[in-house]
Chains A and B, each alone.
Chain A
Amino acid sequence: MANDRHELAEALDRYGADLASWPDPSLANEARRRALADRDFRARIDAAASLAMGLAAVRDQIDAEIAAAGAAGRVQAAVFAALPPHRHTRRWALVAAAVLVAAALGALADVTILAPAGSRPIEVVILDPLAFGPAGTGAP
């Protein structure tokens, strides 16, 4: 066998007990052959598989605790309560504020500056197009 036991044991610790998921198929095949021939190595694979199952049980336990505590819901609520506005949103808010300020200034100017002019009479002359012809081009 090309690979010694130590190398295969190291690969087992790196890549886990599922030999099909090993990145090097030839090394995985070597491990399969070794497992058939070497009881200790087979026991090592079994121990790695057992550890993986135990870790899956721990993962389920953590998930159950998180679910029982309602932690995910709390986090989601807290996140949305604390969301700051995006720069994009802030830009539109600034534009809206500028429009409002401009409108307010315009209204103020109308009241304070243009209102006295409004008191002067404004004469509007309407020329009858039937009498004077269409406005316009100056062409004959």
Chain B
Amino acid sequence: MQSNGPRDGDGIARDRVRLARTAAGDEAAFAEIVAEETPRLLRFAASILGSGQGEAEELVQEALIRLWRQAETWQPDGRISTWLHRVTYRLAIDVLRRRRPSVDIESVVETLEDAGPEPEARLIHFEDAKALRRAIDSLPERQRTAIALCHFQGLSQVEAAAVMEVSEAAYESLLARARRRLRALLAEK
């Protein structure tokens, strides 16, 4: 298993020790990882899937079990967290595809957004977080993920790009489009 994430010397070294203990069957070491990562991964899965918390729980459970299975072959060149986010993301994409197997309009939507005018710059008050949440749910999946990784998960752009398996420039572009789109959606209300 190769993590392919961004480099973070101390964190990677700490992760390597914990994974080595996990690979040796130390459930306490694995429990530390599970306790640390589960709430964040649940938030991430829930924000991508939009609804269906049961599905989010299944995804996170599957990602953690995959980590346990692959602990023995862990290649310490990235963080456990980044790897878990990436696995969770892939599983979430599978769920979204099962939900809407024939819909592939995301690229069209993104193209239209890029061609359109800049949304008007105006101060938006978000007293109603639900309205913003609805706006997030209406974003194309990749833009929603870019927002979640940055604003909900607190990942750096390097880490977020690694999770989405795109270049940093591509991630920044996605994030910029998502922010513009959100402002435009909220300005319409």
Contact = CB atoms under 8 A, between A and B. Distances in A.
Contact of A63 (B39, B176, B180): B39
Given A55-B152, A66-B53, A75 B61 contact: yes
A71 interface: yes
Contact of B183 (A41, A51, A57, A58): A51
Contacts of A33: none
B151 A52 contact: yes
B112 interface: no
- For the residues of B in contact with A, the DSSP-based class is helix
A13 interface: yes
A86 B38 contact: no
B27 A10 contact: no
A71 B57 contact: yes
Interface in B112-147: 118, 121-126, 129-130, 132-133, 136, 147
Interface residues of A, number: 47
B55 to A, nearest CB: 11
Interface in B63-95: 64-65, 68-69, 71-72
A87 B57 CA distance: 26
A47 B72 CA distance: 47
A23 to B, nearest CB: 8
Interface of A: 6, 9-10, 13-16, 40-41, 43-44, 46-48, 50-59, 61-63, 65-67, 69, 71-72, 74-76, 78-80, 82-89
A78 B179 CA distance: 36
B9 interface: no
- For the residues of A in contact with B, the DSSP-based class is helix
A8 to B, nearest CB: 11
Contact of B175 (A14, A63, A71): A14
A88 B43 contact: no
A43 B119 CA distance: 13
B179 A51 contact: yes
Given A13-B180, A43-B123, A51-B183, 17 more contacts: A13-B177, A43-B122, A46-B123, A47-B123, A50-B124, A50-B126, A51-B124, A53-B126, A54-B132, A55-B152, A59-B151, A59-B152, A83-B30, A84-B68, A86-B69, A88-B72, A89-B25
A14 B173 contact: yes
B53 A71 contact: yes
Closest 9 pairs (CB-CB, A-B): A54-B126, A13-B176, A44-B121, A55-B151, A57-B129, A14-B172, A59-B152, A14-B176, A54-B132
A55 B43 contact: no
A62 B41 CA distance: 12
